[in-house]
Amino acid sequence: MDYKEEIKVFSSFLKRRGLKHTDQREEILKAFLSEEKHLTADDLYLLVMKKNPAIGHATVYRTLKLLCGANLASEIYLKDNRVCYEHKYGHRAHEHMVCVHCGKTIELRIPEIESLVKKVEKEHGFKLNDYALKLSGICAKCGKDTK
Ligand SMILES: [Zn+2]
Ligand SMILES: [Zn+2]
């Protein structure tokens, strides 16, 4: 995959912000897109490092924030409020239900929430590009184990 679309989105976002489109930023974007699962900033740093050890930790962190700003990535909270990142561009909105015990994470779509968001947008003339809903509890397996 060449990630042409995503690179274009990132590029025009950087331009709007008056920032440069650097090779390092693009490498970080590509590494991020190459992994389909939820990633922490450290996971991404390790991926990037394998390809280009010259890219520093801080650059990876800052670039991740930029990817969120460009709507290419979103920040999600998993077990113990660990911050992870996942792809946003071209992906459907979904929620994460997290077991506080074992960390099991289920991705789910709740159509009622999507229509509620649409209703709220319409009422207030807003276009929401992000919202967060925290769903945490005990999964079926852990529920059984603790009985
Ligand atoms: Zn569990
Ligand atoms: Zn997800």
Listed residues: CB within 5 A of ion ligand 2: 86, 107
Q: Which domain holds residue 134?
A: 92-147
Cα 111 to ligand 2 centre (Å): 16
Q: Are residues 57 and 117 in the same domain?
A: no
Same-domain pairing of 100 and 54: no
The reply to whether 77 and 100 lie within a common domain is no
- CA 106 / ligand 2 centre spacing (Å): 8
Instruction: Give 37-55 pLDDT, tens digit per residue.
Output: 899 999 999 999 999 999 9
| 28 and 99 share one domain | no
What mean pLDDT is reported for the chain? 92
| Residues 64 and 39 occupy one common structural domain | yes
Distance between Cα 20 and ligand 2 center (Å): 29
How far, in Å, from the CA of 18 to the mean position of ligand 2? 30
CA of 88 to the centre of ligand 2 (A): 9
Domains: count for the chain: 2
Q: Tens of pLDDT along 75-124?
A: 998 888 889 999 998 888 889 999 999 999 999 999 999 899 999 999 99
Q: Cβ(88)–Cβ(72) under 8 Å?
A: yes
Task: Extract long-range pairs of 77-86: CB within 8 Å, 24+ residues apart.
Answer: 77/132, 77/134, 78/38, 78/103, 78/105, 79/103, 79/105, 82/40, 83/40, 83/41, 84/38, 84/39, 84/40, 85/32, 85/38, 85/39, 85/40, 85/41, 85/44, 86/37, 86/38, 86/39
Q: Over 90: is that where the pLDDT of 128 sits? A: no
CA of 132 from ligand 2 middle (Å) equals: 12
122 and 60 together in one domain: no
What's the CATH code of the domain at 17? 1.10.10.10
The answer on 56 and 110 residing in a single domain is no
33/105 same-domain check = no
147 pLDDT more than 70 = no
